[in-house]
Amino acid sequence: MAAPKKNGMQTVVFQNPPVIISTASVVGSREGDGPLAGTFDKVVTDTYYGEDSWEKAEQRMMFDSMKKALQKASLKENDIDFMLAGDLLNQIISSSFTARTMGIPFLGLYGACSTMYEGLAVGAMLVDGGYADRVLAGTSSHYCTAERQYRFPTELGVQRSMTAQWTVTGAGSVILAREGSGPVITHATIGKVIDMGQGDSQDMGAAMAPAAADTIARHFMDTGRKPEDYDLIITGDLAAFGKKLTEELVRQKGYDISNRYTDCGILIYSGSQDVHAGGSGCGCSAVVTCGYLMGLLDSGRYKRILGVGTGALLSSCSVQQGETVPGIGHAVVIEKL
């Protein structure tokens, strides 16, 4: 017998759609200078955020975003059943050390830059399945921590290629609840790891695009929906080159998304900011979703959004071994009913 909430090969349909009752975002100064500045809850101008390392600064940003989400919902830590979080640092230390402080039962997630949408999907399953009344999901990233872990020490000032993306400094958090007021999550399409042999860690958009396209097309096939059923289709952090490639790959699969598709990594920075291809990082889709996209839904401008978190599943170890860069994409439908 088929699973009653499964639709097609990879999509889950929520019978009791979880409500997004609160969101919060904390970003760095570069993000605060961008076109979405007014949609963030807090802009931090010091890259160290008053701490003695960039890693501790990132952890503080995640903690602050989660505390802000709780405050906006008039909730305390003991009102939350589970905390779901992940980040880009080795062994997701930003998340686990934040969980140490929060004192909430914790499930650590890792999907690289797709982790925010992975958290939304898993959290929605927990709430819809009757396993939780409220779930707190969040992610973070920091330009300086990611650069020195994945690429070169920031202090070296190594020249970046034009396909390279700028890791967003920021953290976003979402509270999902069984009851309440706000947009709801109605579907989740869980992606597959796709690897087309792209091995350039300075061109992650190209590495992630096939996975994003696969998940988008699979969502349409599983649900029977078409691009025009959505006000907006948005990927996480493919930026300029990855977005263009995704658009073409989806077209080859029989769907034209060009007139309603954009990417968080393109929206978060302006053309005058020196970020090369655009934004990336766990914080990219997190802060754009928690601020800008929620604003579009709350205002009534958009009713239904298909968001696809995208991640490049590489590590410093895999790069040193000459491995290629696999990609993943998880899609979530957010609606204002």
Cα–Cα distances in angstroms (integers) from residue 252 to residues 101, 197, 249, 257, in the given order = 48, 19, 5, 11
Q: Identify the domain containing residue 219 by its residue range.
A: 184-335
Do 159 and 279 share a domain, yes or no? no
Do 170 and 204 share a domain, yes or no? no
Nearest to 280 by CA among 182, 207, 189: 207
Do 163 and 289 share a domain, yes or no? no
Q: How many folded domains does the chain comprise?
A: 2
Residue labelled with tokens 């992630």:
208
The CA dihedral of 50, 55, 60, 66, to the nearest 10 degrees, is 160
What is the model's pLDDT at position 321?
87
How do strand 279-280 and strand 166-167 relate by DSSP bridges?
parallel
Own/partner pairs, 297-303, CB within 8 angstroms, 24+ separation: 297/183, 297/334, 297/335, 297/336, 298/182, 298/183, 298/336, 300/336, 301/231, 302/231, 302/232, 302/336, 303/231, 303/335, 303/336
* Sequence-ordered list of residues with C-beta below 8 angstroms from that of 67, at least 6 positions apart, any chain: none
Q: How far apart are CA 159 and CA 202, in angstroms?
A: 11
Do 241 and 149 share a domain, yes or no? no
Q: How does pLDDT run across 284-302, given as a tens digit for each residue? A: 999 999 999 999 999 999 9
What is the model's pLDDT at position 286?
98
What is the model's pLDDT at position 272?
74
114 contacts 330 by C-beta, under 8 angstroms: yes
Low-confidence ranges of the chain (pLDDT < 70): 1, 150-166, 276-277
Predicted model pTM: 0.95
CATH code, 303: 3.40.47.40
Q: Which residues pair with 304 in a beta bridge?
A: 335
